[in-house]
Structure 1
Amino acid sequence: MPTETRPTPAELHAIDLQERVVAGLHAAGHEGTPTALEPMLGGHSGLTYRIALDAQEYVVKAVPPGQRSIGRHDMLRQARIMAALADTDVPVPRICATDATEPGWFAMELVAGESLEPVLDDPAVEPALAAARMRRAAEILPRLHRVPLDRLPVDGDPLSPADELARWSRTMGAVPAELVPGADRLERLLADATPEAVVPVLVHGDYRLGNILSVGAEPAALIDWEIWSPGDPRVELGWFLVFADGANFPGVGRIVEGLPRADELVERYADGGPTPRDLTWFDALGRFKMAAIMGHNLRRHREGRHHDPAQELLPATIARLIETGLDRLC
Structure 2
Amino acid sequence: MSTEKFEGELVARVTTALLQQRPGLDVGSLARLPGGHSGLTYRLETGEGPLVIKSVPEGQKAIGRHDMLRQARMISALAPTGMPVPAIVATDETEPAWFAMELVAGESLEPVLDSPEVPAELAAARMLRAAEILPALHDVPLDKVPVDADPLTPRDELARWARTMAAVPPQLVPDADRLHDLLAGSVPAAVTPTLVHGDYRLGNLLCNGTEPAALIDWEIWSVGDPRVELGWFLVFADGTNFPGVGRDVPGLPTADELVSAYAADGRAVDELAWFNALGRYKMAAIMGHNLRRHLEGRHHDPDQEKLPDTIRRLIETGLSISS
* TM-score in terms of structure 1 length: 0.96
Aligned partner of 2:232 in structure 1 is 239
- Report the alpha carbon displacement of residue 153 of structure 1 after superposing the two structures with TM: 0.5
Distance between the aligned counterparts of 1:24 and 1:154, measured in 2?
A: 27
For 1:297, the aligned partner's letter is N
Q: Is this contact kept in 2: 1:68–1:102, CA < 8 A?
A: no
Answer yes or no: is 1:209 the counterpart of 2:187.
no
For 1:267, the aligned partner's letter is S
With over 3 angstroms needed to count, the CA separation of the structure-2 counterparts of 1:147 and 1:272, relative to structure 1, is closer
SS in 1 for 2:250: coil
Aligned partner of 1:27 in structure 2 is 20
Aligned partner of 2:299 in structure 1 is 306
1:148-183 Cα distance to aligned partner (Å, 9 max, x none): 101110100100000000000000011111110110
Distance between the aligned counterparts of 1:156 and 1:322, measured in 2?
A: 30
Aligned partner of 1:130 in structure 2 is 123
1:192-211 Cα distance to aligned partner (Å, 9 max, x none): 00011110000000000000
Distance between the aligned counterparts of 2:23 and 2:293, measured in 1?
A: 42
Structure 2's unaligned 5+ residue stretches are none
SS in 2 for 1:97: strand
With over 3 angstroms needed to count, the CA separation of the structure-2 counterparts of 1:178 and 1:30, relative to structure 1, is farther
For 2:316, the aligned partner's letter is E
With over 3 angstroms needed to count, the CA separation of the structure-2 counterparts of 1:262 and 1:11, relative to structure 1, is same
Aligned partner of 2:251 in structure 1 is 258
Aligned partner of 2:175 in structure 1 is 182
Structure 1's unaligned 5+ residue stretches are 1-7
Q: Is this contact kept in 1: 2:18–2:25, CA < 8 A?
A: no
- Report the alpha carbon displacement of residue 39 of structure 1 after superposing the two structures with TM: 1.2
Q: Is this contact kept in 2: 1:31–1:53, CA < 8 A?
A: no
* TM-score in terms of structure 2 length: 0.98
Aligned partner of 2:64 in structure 1 is 71
Instruction: Name segments (4+ residues, structure 1) moved above 4 Å.
Output: none
In the TM superposition, 1:255-294 aligns within 5 A as 255-294=248-287
1:266-304 Cα distance to aligned partner (Å, 9 max, x none): 000001404411100000000000000000011111111
Distance between the aligned counterparts of 2:33 and 2:319, measured in 1?
A: 38
Indicate the RMSD between aligned Cα atoms, in angstroms. Answer: 1.0
Distance between the aligned counterparts of 2:113 and 2:136, measured in 1?
A: 26
Aligned partner of 2:8 in structure 1 is 15
Distance between the aligned counterparts of 2:306 and 2:198, measured in 1?
A: 25
Distance between the aligned counterparts of 1:236 and 1:70, measured in 2?
A: 22
